[in-house]
Amino acid sequence: MNLMIIQGFIQRAANLRSLAGPVLIVMILAMMVLPLPPFLLDILFTFNIAVAVMVLLVSMNTTKALEFAAFPTILLITTLLRLSLNVASTRIVLLEGHTGPDAAGKVIESFGHFLVGGNYAVGIVVFAILVVINFVVITKGAGRIAEVGARFTLDAMPGKQMAIDADLNAGLIGEDVARQRRAEIAQEADFYGAMDGASKFVRGDAVAGIIILLINIIGGLIVGVLQHNLDIATAAKYYTLLTIGDGLVAQIPALVISTAAGIVVSRVATDENIGQQMIGQLFKQPQIIMLTGSIIGMMGLIPGMPHFAFLSLAGAMIWLAYYLSQQSVKAARLEQAEVVPPSMMEAADASWEDVAQVDVLGLEVGYRLISLVDKAQDGDLLRRIKGIRKKFTQDIGFLPPAVHIRDNLELRPNGYRITLKGVELGNAESYPNLFLAINPGNVSGELSGTQTVDPAFGLPAVWIEGALRDHAQAMGYTVVDPGTVVATHLSHLINTHASQLLGRQEVQQLLDHLGKIAPKLTEDLVPKLLPLGTVQKVLQNLLDEGMHIRDMRTIVETLAENAARIQDPYQLTGLVRVALGPAIVQQFYPATQELQVIGMDKELEYILIQAMQSSHEGTGIEPGLADTVLRETRAAALAQEKMGLPTVLLVPAQLRDLLARFLKRAVPQLRVISHDEVPDFKTIRVTATVGGKV
């Protein structure tokens, strides 16, 4: 019962919260029409100042612009609030101004007397200066920054989207994170676009403040002299002080709000708020503070200068520089003290423990790349590698071995290499303080930097400074950080060599995992029907041709069904491929009914079948025929790629295994499928042909 009451209270509170915005807007608009007493005006003017200060503090404590995404709307509401208060106060000033300086409330009277000393000439000058600062300096600069930010954000959206897709494909992030990042990119563009428009409200508010000031002074003189029979001097004193007080009450919060807008759009997004950024970066180098203090001290020694002010400030800065330098020295000594040198060990006799096992997967890095794999230095490559292994497991169907990471002083400082069972698979260089801008083929210009190629896919690329990152994305480059370069390269290589990562241990773990779900499938297969090595070879054959092995149920059922009469792993692979036919076709032709494939001339098929049958007698395929098949297959695959179609060769079942192994090295992008693997509900259209002139 109590829980239901609490839930009802929360629901009512949520409903009231949703009504807060419309009610506030209606109240603001009502203030322009309904007369307000001076006491209520005092409260509302005080509320206006409080809101301005609150907005300024929130803007200074945000780390990203999107954390204050409601700012453009708040800017409009606060501007409307100030204008409605101006209208309400103008009504009271013109109606009751003849009674004295407190006619429009104590707040306006205080600003008219205390801030400008009761001198309306000084008040007009102060008001004019505030308007110039707000209108010409802060608002115009913030509006320009918002305009340029909106333009560059929109231009950079395609590059940022491609970077998200690259991280998603490399397994560094999941679908939910990718969806969230895409939403943030769209929100960022909307925010800067809204700020570009909202800055016009503040500029219009400044213009309205000047016009309202003139109207109040002129209208007050007319009303005071003609209607209330005041002399010109008294009317000028009363109405001008009231008008100046009214203007200052409105312009000071406007100046605070404009400053908040400038802070929001001008700051660079980091994990620190504006105060932490300023303190951390201004006082980061003690030698700069020491030099500044010395210059101020020398200026203080010039005759005629205020010696106390200059010399006292110089002394304070020199002391601060000395204090900061001592703190940095202490921190460095403490860090060195924490590194305990290893104790000398007595030489021990050799044992089997000294036999070092070769790592299945290894990543060796130069000393400048250690920061990428060191958690203490905010390196996130370890997290990325975990994401790669997880995505590989989900896509391919088995858990790959862990990646052993170590430093290697024999490599270049920025170099790294990836090894498989101790053999190098690939190597490249990555620069921790730079970004790699990859040219996907449709960029709009050139970038200054170190020319290179993307180590994973061989695309032209440039190493650039961080300041050029947004510019490069706006030009269409895909910009990635150094950790992503290494992670993408690693992901590409382990996907390419997936069959070599599937050892007997991994196969046994696969069967054990399947046995927990469907024990009847695996209990009689290994070792009663097939040895574990044969099952491993079948799975490796599938992986070699770019297939996944996620459907282990179908694979094991097919092996168990045919193992009594067939033990050859290549024949078993062919039967498994037929069972997996729909999945194979879907991998190359997702969501399409018609398969546009490369066909083979019937006469060539007959010749190859005869050659394959005779090869069992030792004759083999004639070299001239093999050269013709290779040449024409390359041409057909190239034509297929130019049409934007999958490079898939469709052949009879008895030729599939032979041609797949024969063409693998010569045409690596080609995939060979048999007629038996194509489901009956699919239609076939031959777009290119191999042979015909044999």
Measuring CA to CA, which residue among 235, 291, 254, 301 is closest to residue 101? 235
CA pair distance 537, 502, nearest whole angstrom: 9
Which residues, 6 or more positions from 534, have their beta carbon under 8 angstroms from its beta carbon?
567, 569, 572
Q: Are 363 and 415 in contact (CB under 8 A)?
A: no
257's enclosing H/E stretch is helix 232-266
- Count CB-CB contacts under 10 A for residue 461: 24
Which residues, 6 or more positions from 230, have their beta carbon under 8 angstroms from its beta carbon?
98, 224, 238
CA dihedral 445, 448, 451, 454 (to 10 degrees): -60
pLDDT for position 97: 62
Give the type of residue at 454. D
pLDDT for position 126: 76
Q: Are 368 and 432 in contact (CB under 8 A)?
A: yes
CA pair distance 144, 200, nearest whole angstrom: 11
Coil, helix or strand at residue 413: coil
State the CATH class of domain 589-694.
Answer: alpha beta
Give the type of residue at 624. G
Coil, helix or strand at residue 502: coil
Q: Is the peptide bond prior to 38 cis by the omega test (within 30 degrees of 0)?
A: no
CA pair distance 535, 540, nearest whole angstrom: 9
Q: 532-544 and 552-562 are packed helices; what angle lies between their axes, rounded to 10 degrees?
A: 130
Measuring CA to CA, which residue among 538, 482, 489, 488 is closest to residue 510? 538
Beta strands in 517-593 (DSSP E): none
Q: How many CA atoms lie within 13 A of 148 on its CB side?
A: 9
Chain-centre distance for alpha carbon 337: 38
Question: Do strands 361-365 and 403-407 pair parallel, antiparallel, or not at all (unpaired)?
Answer: parallel
CA pair distance 183, 164, nearest whole angstrom: 11
Question: Do strands 403-407 and 423-429 pair parallel, antiparallel, or not at all (unpaired)?
Answer: unpaired
Residues of the chain with pLDDT under 50: 1-2, 340, 343-345, 617-619, 694
CA pair distance 111, 106, nearest whole angstrom: 9
pLDDT for position 596: 93
Q: Are 477 and 437 in contact (CB under 8 A)?
A: yes
Tokens read off for 91: 């009504």
Tokens read off for 64: 């990203």
> Domain spanning 357-498 has what CATH number?
3.40.30.60
Beta strands in 154-299 (DSSP E): none
Q: Where are the alpha helices (DSSP H) in 347-396?
A: 370-373, 381-396
Residue 346 burial (CB < 10 Å; 0-12/13-18/19+)?
exposed
Q: Are 318 and 290 in contact (CB under 8 A)?
A: yes
pLDDT for position 345: 47
- List, in sequence order, every residue forming a beta bridge with 405; answer none if it has no partner: 363
Per-domain residue ranges of the chain:
27-279, 283-328, 357-498, 502-579, 589-694
Residue 684 main-chain phi, psi, to 5 deg:
-120, 135
Tokens read off for 515: 């046995």
Q: 38-61 and 274-282 are packed helices; what angle lies between their axes, rounded to 10 degrees?
A: 50
Question: Do strands 423-429 and 435-438 pair parallel, antiparallel, or not at all (unpaired)?
Answer: unpaired
Q: 120-132 and 175-222 are packed helices; what angle lies between their axes, rounded to 10 degrees?
A: 150
pLDDT for position 234: 74
CA pair distance 458, 480, nearest whole angstrom: 15
CA pair distance 556, 174, nearest whole angstrom: 30
- In angstroms, how far is the first alpha carbon of the chain from the final one? 87
Give the type of residue at 655. L
The CATH label, of 1.25.40.10, 1.10.8.540, 3.20.20.70, 3.40.50.720, for the domain at 502-579 is 1.10.8.540
CA pair distance 646, 671, nearest whole angstrom: 9
Residue 326 burial (CB < 10 Å; 0-12/13-18/19+)?
exposed
Measuring CA to CA, which residue among 160, 162, 120, 151 is closest to residue 459? 162
What phi-psi label fits residue 121: left (phi over 0), alpha (psi between -120 and 50 degrees) or beta? alpha
CA pair distance 654, 660, nearest whole angstrom: 11
